[in-house]
Amino acid sequence: MPPVLNCETSSSTATNANTENGFKLNDDDEFSKKLVISNAVDNESKSDQNSNFDDDDDDEPLLRENPNRFVLFPIQYHDIWIMYKKAEASFWTVEEVDLSRDIAHWNQLNANEKHFITHVLAFFAASDGIVNENLAERFIRDVQIPEARCFYGFQIAIENVHSEMYSLLINTYVSDRSEQDFLFNAIRNLPCVEKKAKWAIRWTQDDSVTFAERLIAFAAVEGIFFSGSFAAIFWLKKRGLMPGLTFSNELISRDEGLHCDFACLLFHHIRNRPSPQRIVDIIIDAVSIEQEFLTDALPVSLIGMNSKLMSDYIEYCADRLLVELNCEKHYKTANPFEFMEQISLEGKSNFFEKRVAEYQKSGVMSRPEDQIFVTDADF
């Protein structure tokens, strides 16, 4: 985003640019004024962007200033490109989710269950915007390889779909306008949501942290902050409740699992990585916040789940993420939820990697040789 110029800055900057460019600006020439100010903004933007490239970036292939970043082919990072194509193949829209049967189920829920669902949705509705802000302000500017930028560009699009889905769910279940407004502003209204949001925002805004640390933190957001809430909604599916909500949860959890896997993939391309202890510290911090969120501030006992088992599940997800980041397991906790085996965030033999055909765009992941027409096929 180009810097915003106030009136004083615009005047002084424009005067300097006028002198440097060696022409006299006619006060009545509005076009010339706009041109000079535009050039000044561009110069400041370039200066800001160049400041992103420090000496450490020269050692990092992902971050090193790349003059070829505007051209996609030939593909240099095939593993990253494959992840982008997977994301592209799994694109969906909110119109594909049928919420018509949810209202009858919603009216049968008790007050505690409704409270839990609406507050989880309120967190999710805000969190996707936070993830997108980090992508737009940090990752997509920091990373210099076009394959990764393709993934991040598509991630921004699908995070917008997630945000729309959660907002639509709140609108569908909650008819009272004041309660809707309260939930849509959960970051300001709910301390438990505010705490999680501030933790994530801090990693976007703190210029002292490295790209690798920021990458780990947002892998924790998508692999830990989201995992417990995903499991809670899948618990409702196990009970046969809220088919629209639980189907959207399948789609979104699949997407977030892929985003978390992508963060881990980029981490393996980083040369100057944080120490294992630093990685563990970041993950432990995220686990502590998520455990407090789902066992104290918004306890899963409200929907009939065991809070201790939920705490164990969060630790299990954290250990799995640590392994993906080349660290030893810290908690060594087994998965307490058997029903999550097929839809957890593991990414090896689960829902995300199986690529259920109904959720994949036709032909996106096919190879050119798969599209050859032949007349000698056996029938």
Q: Which residues are catalytic, by number?
A: 166
Transcribe 125-172 into DSSP letters.
HHHHHHHHHHIIIIIHHH---HHHHHHHHHHHHHHHHHHHHHHHHHHH
Q: Is 222 annotated as a binding residue?
A: yes
What does the block give as tokens for 61?
């292939």
Segment (H or E) for 36: helix 30-51
- Spatial neighbors of 335 by CB under 8 A, at least 6 apart, are 313, 316, 341, 344
Whole-angstrom distance, CA of residue 60 vs CA of residue 73: 21
What does the block give as tokens for 247?
């189907």
Q: Is 88 annotated as a binding residue?
A: no
- In a 13 Å sphere around the CA of 91, the CA atoms on its Cβ side amount to 17
What does the block give as tokens for 274?
């944080």
Q: Is 105 annotated as a binding residue?
A: no
Q: Is 346 annotated as a binding residue?
A: no
Contact 130, 201 (CB under 8 A): yes
Q: Is 259 annotated as a binding residue?
A: yes
Whole-angstrom distance, CA of residue 344 vs CA of residue 342: 6
What does the block give as tokens for 129?
């915007």
Residue that the structure tokens 């119109």 belong to: 95
Contact 149, 140 (CB under 8 A): yes
Q: Is 269 annotated as a binding residue?
A: no
Residue list for the binding site for Fe cation:
128, 159, 162, 222, 256, 259
Per the annotation, binding residues are 128, 159, 162, 222, 256, 259
